[in-house]
Structure 1
């Protein structure tokens, strides 16, 4: 989150390329086809970046990752373009036929869920309880030279384009394992469909922005922390992403594939309570079926980002994005889950690719 730690996007693994140019509805005749061709060319170039999560934004060449304040769950809902006169939002897959690798990512119909009931006034109280639970968590800190290990299960929905037809499909729920050094300069990712069987390096000369060492230096005063989040997200967010939504997503990014110290996590929750539009959701389900209570915020496309917590312990379970209001001409229907994740293990280990409990 430190401005000096923000890293330039790599040539191949950059999320900013997911933000395709918007196309006006009243384009002159012939311009729709031009923009469609431009869009298709860009999608083909960026197929592997379309469903990358932020921690995967570093490649083997050592190129840096992008600003975590513009994480995928903010960027994908913001994606809007005109295809044969229809506006669609979300990640995009183009049917590449026999030679196209992207089509294999779409493995079934879109994930759907029941929409939880919103309590517009319940978020501050719930976040205060979550903050207290986070502060009381008794967990030893890391030793010098260790790595943050996070295992999760993830699934995503996609817009699949065949010719001029856009349909919604989903990628099968699959495991994801990430290792990041405390200083954020070394790491490893293993995720079927995104990396080879052995995984890929996340090494970089520029530190990972949500590295443990960076998080440990953040202010623990909620007002000062939120001011910093707004300032740094404003510096690099897409202008079409509202600043409150960018700030909410920024905090969510620091709660998922990172391991902030207890006092920082507590401050992040209290800071989130100060963001306009944040609500409590009575029931939400993570990627592996665990029910919990959620803290959420809806963006202006009708998609709601939800952080899911255990109803008893208030431990963070995972997150999901759900369509709660249908946008005109969008193939996404109400109840579609565009992204779902569940944290299954979070620990400090001695080496990358080492699992908790294994010898170094």
Structure 2
């Protein structure tokens, strides 16, 4: 597996670290009892199959904060496969963005997260990120509290951390954020994903064949790619591919994100100790973002979520579309 075949896990981890540092510094400007930028601590038993261990930690977002009871939802009115196919139709209608390798994929999201997975207040930040379209430079990001329009922090470079030494930054460049070379046929796309698996950074002795061959592989890869930019026809193929994969379910009931958009959530399989959902617009079925929750004593509580606001191609970090 080459560097360019790997998912941008270092980028995701550093983005989470910086966002948490930003939230803590805003919430507790005078406190010295806590360490700004420390790694997130998950409760004992919190374990995620596949690449969701880091993806769930990253997905801080803008869905309305809510506590959801498990098992008390009415039956869904549509299957996950039907929602994914409608999302594919919506993807085909999007205008296509074209990027040169030296350009950047700009994304803006609303990010709501808890300091710890199952306790503490929820805080919402607006996050602007510039990722290298061709994987030629490290990503950069800036943050501000959603209730402070003039509260933007400085632009920060996001470098991956060394798994063996979390305090040491690596110079390894990320994967390209512009996925312009993906097949546009679902069957061909599945073969491509199997030939270019997401690097899960598994511990020594782990059964790589079992993990990489699991049914959740396509969901893991889709979530990673949606942090960057996937052109409309390839995005449609990705959702068509997910429509064929078993295990996903529709969560009934209205979901409202931080932008006030009403959505429907599809729960991904393979998550242990919690849940991870894709969220689509309830009317247009356009992709809106993600949300993640933990389950304790039969009760589910939202930990973090993302509300994707806009995506664009720009020439340099800090430039707005």
Q: Is contact 1:185-1:205 (8 Å) kept? A: no
- 1:127-159: CA deviations, max 9, x gaps? 112112212222342356432110111112343
Q: Is contact 1:321-1:338 (8 Å) kept? A: yes
Q: Is contact 2:55-2:224 (8 Å) kept? A: no
Distance (whole Å) between structure 2 residues aligned to residue 230 and residue 71 of structure 1: 20
- 1:136-193: CA deviations, max 9, x gaps? 2223423564321101111123438xxxxxx612441111110112112223111359
Distance (whole Å) between structure 2 residues aligned to residue 355 and residue 129 of structure 1: 31
Aligned twin of 1:173: 124
Q: Is contact 2:100-2:134 (8 Å) kept? A: no
Distance (whole Å) between structure 1 residues aligned to residue 101 and residue 217 of structure 2: 32
Do the aligned partners of residues 225 and 244 (structure 1) sit closer, same or farther apart at CA in structure 2, a change above 3 Å counting? same
Give 5+ residue unaligned stretches, structure 1: 16-43, 52-67, 78-90, 92-109, 161-166
1:211 aligns to 2:168 (yes or no): no
Higher relative contact order (CA 8 A, sep 6+): 2
Distance (whole Å) between structure 2 residues aligned to residue 185 and residue 250 of structure 1: 21
Do the aligned partners of residues 220 and 338 (structure 1) sit closer, same or farther apart at CA in structure 2, a change above 3 Å counting? same
Give 5+ residue unaligned stretches, structure 2: 17-33, 42-49, 146-151, 160-169
- 1:7-58: CA deviations, max 9, x gaps? 7959x9599xxxxxxxxxxxxxxxxxxxxxxxxxxxx99953439xxxxxxx
Q: Is contact 2:250-2:266 (8 Å) kept? A: yes
Aligned twin of 1:191: 143
Aligned twin of 2:44: none
Aligned twin of 1:138: 95
Do the aligned partners of residues 144 and 183 (structure 1) sit closer, same or farther apart at CA in structure 2, a change above 3 Å counting? closer
1:294 aligns to 2:265 (yes or no): yes
Distance (whole Å) between structure 2 residues aligned to residue 285 and residue 125 of structure 1: 20
Deviation at 1:312, TM superposition (A): 1.9
Cα RMSD after superposing both structures: 4.1
Aligned twin of 1:304: 275
Aligned twin of 1:353: 318
Aligned twin of 1:268: 238
Distance (whole Å) between structure 2 residues aligned to residue 173 and residue 75 of structure 1: 15
Do the aligned partners of residues 237 and 144 (structure 1) sit closer, same or farther apart at CA in structure 2, a change above 3 Å counting? closer
Deviation at 1:300, TM superposition (A): 4.9
TM-score by length of 2: 0.66
Distance (whole Å) between structure 1 residues aligned to residue 91 and residue 2 of structure 2: 22
Distance (whole Å) between structure 2 residues aligned to residue 227 and residue 129 of structure 1: 23
Distance (whole Å) between structure 1 residues aligned to residue 215 and residue 201 of structure 2: 14
Q: Is contact 1:121-1:279 (8 Å) kept? A: no
Deviation at 1:3, TM superposition (A): 5.9
Do the aligned partners of residues 140 and 73 (structure 1) sit closer, same or farther apart at CA in structure 2, a change above 3 Å counting? closer
Of the candidates 70, 73, 91, which is equivalent to residue 55 of structure 2? 73
Distance (whole Å) between structure 2 residues aligned to residue 251 and residue 192 of structure 1: 27
Aligned twin of 1:56: none
Distance (whole Å) between structure 2 residues aligned to residue 306 and residue 136 of structure 1: 23
Q: Is contact 1:237-1:246 (8 Å) kept? A: no
Structure 1 or 2: larger strand share?
2
TM-score by length of 1: 0.60
